[in-house]
Amino acid sequence: MKRRPRFATRMMLVQTIVVLIGTVTLIVTALLVAPTLFHQHLGHFGMATGEVQLHAEEAFAYAFFISVAVATVISVAAAGVVSWILVRRVTRPIEQLATAAESVAAGRFDVVVPDAGFSSELARLTDAFTVMATRLGDSEAARSRLLADLAHELRTPLATLEAYIDGLEDQVLAPSTESWDTMRHQVHRLNRLARDLRETAAAAEHALGMEFSPIDLRASCETAVAAAAPGFQAAGLTLTLDAPAEALPVLGDEVRLQQVLANLLENALRYTPASHGVQMVARRQATEVSVQIIDEGSGIPAEEIERIFERFHRVDPARVATGAEGSGLGLTIARAIVIDHGGSLTAASDGPGKGSTFTIRLPRIEHLN
């Protein structure tokens, strides 16, 4: 790459040119104006002729050139010092930003850019760069965790499929309904993981392609409960809906909100032991609509309340009461969908063994039509 002059060099060159132009302008102007004015003043006082005028003009010319020379040297030196200080104050934070940018480009995101107190513009630039580097570092860490978690999630179903295929091929394992069901279940698990990963990536980019329209969230709750009821009955659990008689109007995507409710009910089913209950409570508030899924399950430790919404967050296997372990992405997707609706999804629990409550809050609209 062609080597270009440094910014400090160019700044000093520009400052030097400015000083030289100012000096030349001063000298030329003084030479054009000062002698004429001096001669006019001599004539005004009756000294325009004779030897006195000659000596006076010689003295003026000598004093003028000495003064201009001394003033020029002092001004150039002072301007040089001030310019050097100014250039250093301006270029130092720029050089530090360039070094930090090179570090970020090389994959090192833990850069520290000193505060540029010279001007508000440079301070804004350094602050914005620090925030950008921090977010890039967080994104890279999240990407690394995602790849590691994905590899872990893929390992179990792939290992199971490989073991069954080898067993069938070596005739150690006889073909049976149970064998085919096991392999089909692992394939289903891989398909679900791929689908959830695709939706998680789309949710992170706010690119789920939702279509908003006025909907009745009460009707959505009824549909979700009806769809989940057979699974709860099979697991020996009760599932009830507590909702007002009137509509609960919100602006949302019906399909995506059904996905959120299904994910939360599936989560409650997974962590609630048999003979216990799960309740869905829908309420109309002053400016919002709330839906709570309250279970009597294994509960959530306080330190995991927020972590359960992270991708591939793993819970203690002992907490799983019924059903198979999920992909670890359902709650992540559910929260992203609710946030894209302008709402919130939170979790609460009194601790292990004391159940948990997931609360959806969405902005309420006045009417469905």
Q: What is the DSSP string of 196-255?
A: HHHHHHHHHTT-S----EEEEHHHHHHHHHHHHHHHHHHTT-EEEEE--SS--EEEE-HH
Q: Give the structural domain span for 192.
A: 125-204
Residue 119 lies in a domain: no
Q: Are residues 188 and 324 in the same domain?
A: no
Q: Is 70 exposed, middle or buried (0-12, 13-18, 19+ CB in 10 A)?
A: exposed
Q: Are residues 103 and 138 in the same domain?
A: no
Q: How far apart are CA 275 and CA 239, in angstroms?
A: 11
Whether the per-residue pLDDT at 322 is higher than 60: the answer is no
Mean of the pLDDT values across residues 236-241? Answer: 92
User: Among candidates 167, 90, 153, 98, which has minimal Cα distance to 121?
Assistant: 90
Tens digits of residue pLDDT in 172-224: 888 888 888 888 888 887 887 787 777 777 777 666 778 899 999 999 999 99
Tens digits of residue pLDDT in 153-163: 678 788 888 88
**CATH number for position 190:** 1.10.287
In this predicted structure, what is the pLDDT of residue 4? 58
Q: Are residues 348 and 241 in the same domain?
A: yes
Contact 149/139 with Cβ under 8 angstroms? Answer: no
Mean of the pLDDT values across residues 37-47? Answer: 65
Radius of gyration of the chain from its Cα atoms, rounded to whole angstroms = 39
Which residue, 151, 178, 204, sits at the end of a domain?
204
- Within a 10 A sphere around the Cβ of 78, how many other Cβ atoms? 11
Which residue, 204, 221, 253, sits at the end of a domain?
204
Tens digits of residue pLDDT in 7-16: 667 777 777 7
Q: Are residues 219 and 339 in the same domain?
A: yes
Tens digits of residue pLDDT in 84-139: 777 777 777 777 788 888 888 888 887 777 776 666 777 777 888 888 888 888 77
Q: How many domains does the chain have?
A: 3
Q: How far apart are CA 252 and CA 217, in angstroms?
A: 9
Q: Are residues 322 and 274 in the same domain?
A: yes
Q: How far apart are CA 328 and CA 193, in angstroms?
A: 9
**Mean pLDDT, rounded, of the chain:** 80
Whether the per-residue pLDDT at 317 is higher than 60: the answer is no
More confident residue, 28 or 52: 28
Q: Are residues 153 and 86 in the same domain?
A: no
More confident residue, 348 or 192: 348
Q: Are residues 200 and 217 in the same domain?
A: no
Q: Are residues 24 and 137 in the same domain?
A: no
In this predicted structure, what is the pLDDT of residue 2? 52
User: Among candidates 13, 22, 57, 17, which has minimal Cα distance to 38?
Assistant: 57
Residue 321 lies in a domain: yes
Tens digits of residue pLDDT in 255-313: 889 989 998 999 899 888 888 899 999 999 889 999 999 998 888 888 888 888 877 66
User: What pTM does this model have?
Assistant: 0.59
In this predicted structure, what is the pLDDT of residue 44? 66
Q: Are residues 220 and 338 in the same domain?
A: yes
